[in-house]
C-alpha cells in the first residue's frame, strides 16, 4: 500500500460486534482510523488495536477523506451524519460509505442531501455476520457511482472478500434487503420442515443431513440448524430485530414498486411477530422458540 493511502484518514462510526473487527482490519491495512461509538469499552478496544477514539461523531470526522457508518438503521445513520452538522469537518468531496442496512429509497434521499454538501455516498451493506467480519471475508454489495466505488474499494477490500457493484446509490441496500428476505425465508422453511418431520417421527439431525445432501439445502440447513438451533446455543451473532427490520425493508420496497409478493409479505409478518414476542435483541436463530410456542410446544433439540 502506498504511503499516500497509508495516510488516508477514515472516520468509523459504530464499533459494535461487526464494526469493531472491520475497523481493526482497516487499521491493519494501514489506514488512519478515528472511531466513535457510544460504548466507552468499544472506544478503548479500538485504541488498543492502534486506532484513535473520538469523543464525538463530529470530532471523528474532522479531516477525514472517508466515513464508514456501521449502525442499526438508516435513521440513525442520517442523524449521525447530518445531526449538528457532524459531517461539516470532512474533507471536501469526501466519500461516505454506509455499510449499515438501510431503506434504499431513504438512502437515495440521503445521497442527494450529502451531494448538496459536496460529499459522495456509497451504500455498501455486508453479508457474513460477525464470524466473517472478524476474518475479513465479508460479502459487500456496493451501490453508487463507479468512480466513487473505485475510490472506496481499497477500504472495502480491507474488510471483505467479495465486492459486488449493484448499480446506483440505494441499490446496495436494496440487494441487502433481498438477501435477508431469502435468508430469513430459508430459516423459516428449514425449521418448519424439521418440525414437520419430527411430528411424523423423523429424527431432526437426520432431516438436516438429508436436506444438506439434497435440493432442500440452504444457508440455514448448512450453518444454522445443527450449529445453533438443534444445539440450543442460539449464538449466530445476528439479532432477530435486525433480521425483521431488513425483511420489512424488502416488503416495503415491494409495495413501493407496486408488486404483490405474497411469500415476502408473509415472511416479513412472521419475523415481525417473532421479534415482538421474543425481544429484538435475541439471536435470530431463537425464532424456533416462537414457532414451537405457536405450533408445536415440544422442544426440537431434545428430540434429536
**88: number of Cβ within 10 Å:** 11
Q: Are 15 and 69 in contact (CB under 8 A)?
A: no
> Alpha-carbon distance 176 to 62, whole Å?
30
The C-alpha angle 222, 254, 129, rounded to 5 degrees, equals: 30
Instruction: Measure the CA–CA gap between 246 and 127, rounded to whole angstroms.
Output: 12
CA 226 – CA 298 distance, rounded (Å): 17
Compute the 3-state secondary structure of the chain and give helix, strand, coil in percent, each to the nearest 5.
Answer: 60, 15, 30
- Cα distance between residue 171 and residue 271, in whole Å: 23
Contact 186, 252 (CB under 8 A): no
Which of 43, 45, 176, 224 does the annotation list as catalytic?
Answer: 176
**What is the torsional sign of CA 123, 129, 134, 137?**
negative
Would you say the C-alpha torsion 49, 54, 57, 59 has a positive or negative sign?
negative
Residues 6+ apart with CB under 8 A from 282: 234, 239, 240, 241, 275
Catalytic residue status for 176: yes
Catalytic residues: 176
Amino acid at each position: 500500500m502506498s504511503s499516500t493511502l497509508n495516510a488516508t484518514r477514515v472516520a468509523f462510526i459504530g464499533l459494535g460486534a461487526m464494526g469493531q473487527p472491520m475497523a481493526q482490519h482497516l487499521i491493519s491495512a494501514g489506514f488512519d482510523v478515528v472511531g466513535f461509538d457510544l460504548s466507552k469499552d468499544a472506544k478503548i478496544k479500538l485504541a488498543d488495536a492502534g486506532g484513535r477514539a473520538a469523543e464525538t461523531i463530529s470530532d471523528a470526522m474532522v479531516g477525514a477523506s472517508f466515513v464508514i457508518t456501521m449502525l442499526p438503521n438508516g435513521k440513525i445513520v442520517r442523524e449521525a451524519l447530518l445531526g449538528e452538522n457532524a459531517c461539516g469537518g470532512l474533507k471536501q468531496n469526501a466519500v461516505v460509505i454506509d455499510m449499515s442496512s438501510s431503506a434504499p429509497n431513504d438512502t437515495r434521499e440521503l445521497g442527494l442531501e450529502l451531494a448538496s454538501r459536496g460529499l459522495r455516498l456509497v451504500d455498501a451493506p455486508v453479508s457474513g455476520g460477525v464470524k466473517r467480519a472478524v476474518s475479513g471475508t465479508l460479502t459487500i454489495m456496493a451501490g453508487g457511482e463507479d468512480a466513487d466505488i473505485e475510490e472506496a474499494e481499497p477500504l472495502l477490500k480491507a474488510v471483505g472478500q467479495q465486492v459486488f457493484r449493484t448499480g446506483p446509490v440505494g441499490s446496495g441496500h436494496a440487494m441487502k434487503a433481498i438477501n435477508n428476505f431469502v435468508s430469513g425465508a430459508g430459516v423459516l422453511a428449514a425449521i418448519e420442515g424439521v418440525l414437520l418431520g419430527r411430528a411424523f417421527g423423523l429424527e431432526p439431525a437426520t432431516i438436516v443431513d438429508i436436506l444438506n445432501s439434497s435440493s432442500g439445502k440452504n444457508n440455514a440447513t448448512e450453518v444454522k440448524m445443527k450449529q445453533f438451533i438443534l444445539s440450543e446455543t442460539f449464538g449466530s451473532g445476528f439479532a432477530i430485530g435486525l433480521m425483521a427490520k431488513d425483511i420489512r425493508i424488502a416488503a416495503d420496497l415491494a409495495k413501493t414498486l407496486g408488486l404483490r409478493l405474497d411469500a415476502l409479505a408473509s415472511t416479513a409478518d412472521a419475523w415481525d411477530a417473532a421479534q415482538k414476542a421474543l425481544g429484538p435483541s435475541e439471536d435470530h436463530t431463537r425464532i424456533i422458540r416462537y414457532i414451537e410456542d405457536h405450533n408445536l410446544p415440544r422442544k426440537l433439540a431434545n428430540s434429536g
